[in-house]
Amino acid sequence: MKVKIHKGDLVELISGRLEEKGKRGEVIKVLPEEKRVVVQGLNVRTKHQRQVQSQGRTVNPGKVRFEASIPVSNVMLVCPKCNKPTRVGLRREDGKVTRICKQCEAQIDE
Interface with Zn ion, residue 68, by CB under 5 A: no
Q: Cβ-count burial of 31 within 10 angstroms (0-12 exposed, 13-18 middle, 19+ buried)?
A: middle
d(CA 40, CA 26) in angstroms, rounded, equals 5
Residue from 61, 82, 91, 98 touching Zn ion (CB under 5 A): that is 82
Interface with Zn ion, residue 76, by CB under 5 A: no
CB closer to Zn ion, 3 vs 10: 10
CA 4 to chain centre: 11
Interface with Zn ion, residue 79, by CB under 5 A: yes
Binding site for Zn ion (CB under 5 A): 79, 81-82, 101, 103-104, 106
